[in-house]
């Protein structure tokens, strides 16, 4: 759905957004107030009200996503318009401000809004790209299937480890019992962990050439490398799914912060008016 929403209904909402930005730009170019263009002229107020309305509507998307029934506008229309009007909002609100930026609550609002918009662009990119990356990475296996294969490899590795010298057995047992998947946020976003016990065990066995018979060494190396490959895929899967969630932790809280800043902005401009 996310890939198609950019071209949805023959790009109807891109056209709406381009029309909106063009009309706004023309009005801004033709507008010649006595003082510098700013948010306090008739055009400034008009574009400010328009920007606030667009923002309110974009924020309402979160409510609309969760409510069934309601007005008969399709979710695809909401999503497609959300993306294009969200980007158009940056231009409309910039014309509203008359490019008068400074260190104040008004410019803070503008920056908060930019964070929401850029996080939205990142989220859209993730949604469009990740489903394919996820399925390429899984290659037909589910996480449970990969975990099942790791459990099988672990039991084989444990069986070999008891026949080996202490140092190798310790490294292999460490790989079997202390290899972690997931964990805190940083671990979820890390695919290649240089301290992963399985990686360390594989390197140890590679280095310990001659300390046990070649056949056992090969069997160990094959299983440890196979486990490493599976771990890499599961960690890649975890990372992609984590990123798919993470951007919303920026997009949604910053939406609330932006709405609060908008109310402050309007109160402040009317208070000092």
Query: Can residue 128 be called a binding residue for ligand HEM (CB under 6 A)?
Result: no
Calculate the alpha carbon distances from 187 to 184, 203, 238, 239, 249 in Å: 5, 21, 9, 9, 18
* Cβ proximity to ligand HEM, 7 vs 121, nearer residue: 121
Query: Which listed residue (14, 116, 157, 230) binds ligand HEM by CB under 6 A?
Result: 116
Q: Least distance from C-beta 136 to ligand HEM, angstroms?
A: 21
Query: Which listed residue (11, 16, 31, 38) binds ligand HEM by CB under 6 A?
Result: 38
61 vs 125: CA distance, rounded Å: 18
Stretch that binds ligand HEM, among 89-97, 145-153, 217-225, 230-238 (CB under 6 A): 89-97
* Cβ proximity to ligand HEM, 45 vs 163, nearer residue: 45
Q: 144-203: which residues touch ligand HEM (CB under 6 A)?
A: none
Query: Which listed residue (21, 28, 82, 150) binds ligand HEM by CB under 6 A?
Result: 82
Calculate the alpha carbon distances from 222 to 114, 157, 217, 219 in Å: 50, 10, 9, 5
Report the interface residues with ligand HEM, using CB under 6 A. Answer: 38-40, 44-45, 48-49, 51-52, 55, 58-59, 61-62, 65, 79, 82-83, 86-87, 89, 93, 96-97, 100-102, 104, 106-107, 109-110, 113, 116-117, 120-121, 123-124, 127, 248, 251-252, 255, 262, 265-266, 269
């Amino acid at each position: 759905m996310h890939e198609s929403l950019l071209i949805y209904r023959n790009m109807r909402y891109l056209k709406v957004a381009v029309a909106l930005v063009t009309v706004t730009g023309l009005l801004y170019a033709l507008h010649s107030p006595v003082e510098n263009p700013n948010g306090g002229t008739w055009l400034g107020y008009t574009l400010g009200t328009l920007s606030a309305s667009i923002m309110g509507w974009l924020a309402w998307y979160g409510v609309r996503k969760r409510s069934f029934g309601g007005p008969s506008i399709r979710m695809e229309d909401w999503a497609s318009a959300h993306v294009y009007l969200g980007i158009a909002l940056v231009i409309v609100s910039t014309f509203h401000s008359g490019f008068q930026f400074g260190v104040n609550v008004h410019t803070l609002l503008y920056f908060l809004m930019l964070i929401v918009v850029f996080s939205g662009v990142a989220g859209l990119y993730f949604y469009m790209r990740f489903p394919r990356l996820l399925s390429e990475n899984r290659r037909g296996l589910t996480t449970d299937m990969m975990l099942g294969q790791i459990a099988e490899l672990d039991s084989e590795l444990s069986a070999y480890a008891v026949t080996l010298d202490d140092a190798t057995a310790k490294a292999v047992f460490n790989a079997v019992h202390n290899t972690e998947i997931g964990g805190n946020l940083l671990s979820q976003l890390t695919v290649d962990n240089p301290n992963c016990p399985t990686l360390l065990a594989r390197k140890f066995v590679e280095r310990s050439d001659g300390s046990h018979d070649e056949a056992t060494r090969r069997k160990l190396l094959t299983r440890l490398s196979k486990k490493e490959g599976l771990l890499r895929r599961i960690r890649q899967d975890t990372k992609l799914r984590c990123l798919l969630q993470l951007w919303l932790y920026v997009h949604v809280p910053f939406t609330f912060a932006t709405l609060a800043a908008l109310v402050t902005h309007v109160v402040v401009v009317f208070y000092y008016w």
